[in-house]
Structure 1
Amino acid sequence: MKMLKKILTIACMLAVLTVAFGCSEEGPMEKAGKKIDKAAQDAGQQMDKAADDAKEAAKKIFE
């Protein structure tokens, strides 16, 4: 019985360590997600700039 407890304890510890260290690297989906986030952020910044430019152009027209 003591041997079984030791084996189960070691197996649980190995499972926890495998999960903890196995997830440290970025997978392809995480890399793709980061690229999508960056593209969305860049697109938002470009839209903000375009809106500012349009506002300035409208001010010049209606002055």
Structure 2
Amino acid sequence: MKKVLLFVALVATLGFASCTNKQAEAEKARLDSLAEVARLDSIAAVEQAKADSIAAAAAAAAADTLVEAAAAAVK
């Protein structure tokens, strides 16, 4: 009877340890996924900032060209 109880306790302990290990792996996978999403968001934000900067520079250049053309037309 002692052997049976010892065996049941051993199986329960191993089962609990196995569940804990799987939970830790699942949590690590979730955190890795969140880190990847944050990384991709950061890259997208940088790319958007570059695009905005280029658009602003193009608009400023176009405005300067119009001002120069208007000034030349006045002379």
TM-score band, normalised by shorter chain: 0.5 to 0.7
* Identical positions, percent: 7
Which residue of 4, 9, 31 corresponds with 2:16? Answer: 31
Query: Displacement of 1:50 after TM fit?
Result: 0.3
- TM-score under structure 1 length normalisation: 0.58
Once residues 27 and 42 of structure 1 are traced to their aligned partners in structure 2, the CA distance between those partners, rounded to angstroms, is 22
Match of 1:60 in 2: 45
Equivalent residues in 2 for 1:1-63, closer than 5 Å: 27-63=12-48
How far has the Cα of 1:27 moved from its partner? 1.1
Q: Once superposed, which parts of structure 1, at least 4 consecutive aligned residues long, lie more than 4 Å away? A: none
Q: Looking at CA atoms only, which structure, 1 or 2, has the larger radius of gyration?
A: 2
Report the residue type matching 1:31 in the other structure: F
* Structure with the larger helix share: 2
Instruction: Give the root-mean-square deviation of aligned CA atoms.
Output: 1.9
Equivalent residue pairs, number: 41
The TM-score normalised by the length of structure 2 is: 0.49
- Unaligned segments of structure 1, at least 5 residues: 1-17
Unaligned runs of 5+ in 2: 49-75
